[in-house]
Amino acid sequence: MKNVIILGSTGSIGTQTLEVIEKLDNFNVLALACGNNISLLKEQIKKFNPKYVCIENPEHKNNIKQDFPNIKVLSGSDGLLELASIKECDIFVVATSGIVSVKAVLKAIENKKTIALANKETLVMAGDIVMKKAKENNVNIIPIDSEHSAILQCMQTQDNKLAQRLWITASGGPFLNNTREEMENFNAKDALNHPRWAMGKKITIDCATLVNKGLEVIEAHHLYNFDYNNIKVVIHPQSIVHSFVEFIDGSFLAQMGVPSMHIPIQYALTYPERFNGIKTNSFNIYNQNLQFLEPDFKKFPLLKLTIECGKQGGIMPVVLNAANEVAVYKFIKGEINFLDIEKIIFKEIEKTTNIKNPTLDEIFALDEDIRRRLA
């Protein structure tokens, strides 16, 4: 029996993780953590009977205890750290958004838990620190993102040294075939209408700007210890190939399937095995017209900027990530135009002087400062 803790259980990845666990034998939900969606959390408690829950706001503690007196109810970031220290935990699923879980991830690594990572900020903001700690503790960080899961699946039967290039596929987002003049006038509803993947709002906008793909390049750099020059982005509007690995003999291995987050989630839980649990609709291999296109960095300058920030390292990815998040939420609220997102980010990057090897405290302070200033 594998005991699983899920941070972010009421979000998009969290709920899908529970759907996967329902279909798998031998997986037990040990703890659930969420923000403030208490009614959904209660449904999840009824169904999965965890020993612990953790909620953001301590004011809701009594509300949960009244209905479920036998559960240990924790709260806030101290609660997350406590979850990261539970002995019986085997897999620590990190499906929160933002930076709230970074310290808990580091604690779970110290406690030698396998990390199934869906949260982008962990590696984008603190990739050097997190990967160093994982290596020291001999802990596996298994990606839940479809692209990084595809790379992991392609590399699994190979010696990693035989891989020479990673090709990360991108759908191109909803504006792939629009001009920049047209993009100027798009509102949040247009941008939230993603052609292939159903995801949370923030990440869907990040797909429209292609920032998401740049962040995934940064994550791939950390996860697979690949030089940025050997990580390529390829636009693949059909989202059937979830990424490629190119090997030293020129062979490409791809992982394919209909787009569904259930598969990378399940693979992260069962890694290195593949189980007969949840299934996607079978992919019809006949008469597919799969395209692979070069990204247009002029039309999507944030893709280039995000990768450039990754290459520079230090605090640059932190600044980019924080400025992006503030700008995206402003756009979702209708306060700014679509192309204003990039104006805000470029302005912030231009005035930043890089600092190499920031500490975790410096990263958090900087992140908070940018958010406060740009809000």
SS (H, E, C) 265-332: HHHHHHCCCCCCCCCCCCCCCCCCCCCCECCCCCCCHHHHHHHHHHHHCCCHHHHHHHHHHHHHHHHH
- Pick the piece of the chain touching Mg ion (CB under 5 A) from 65-73, 87-95, 145-153, 366-374: 145-153
Stretch of 15-23, 97-105, 139-147, 317-325 lying at the interface with Mg ion (CB under 5 A)? 139-147
CB of 148 to Mg ion, least distance (A): 8
Residue number with CB closer to Mg ion (107 or 148):
148
Q: Is the dihedral of CA 76, 82, 86, 89 positive or negative?
A: positive
Nearer to Mg ion, 56 or 121 (CB): 121
CA distance to 54, 71, 126, per residue, from 38 (Å): 11, 14, 30
C-beta nearest to Mg ion: residue: 145
Work out how close the CB of 149 gets to Mg ion at its nearest, in angstroms, rounded to a whole number: 9
59 to 7, 109, 315: CA distances (angstroms): 19, 29, 35
Query: Binding Mg ion by CB under 5 A: which of 56, 82, 121, 145?
Result: 145
> Which amino acid, residue 283?
F
Give the interface segment with Mg ion, choosing from 137-145, 154-162, 274-282, 340-348 (CB under 5 A): 137-145
Shortest Å distance, C-beta 30 to Mg ion: 27
Separation between Cα atoms, residue 30 and residue 79, nearest integer Å: 14
Q: Quick check: helix, strand or coil at residue 32?
A: strand
Closer by beta carbon to Mg ion, 145 or else 348: 145
Residue with smaller CB distance to Mg ion, 89 or 168: 168
Which span (78-86, 142-150, 278-286, 288-296) binds Mg ion, by CB under 5 A? 142-150
Query: Count residues contacting Mg ion (CB under 5 A)?
Result: 2
Contacts to Mg ion by CB under 5 A? 145, 147
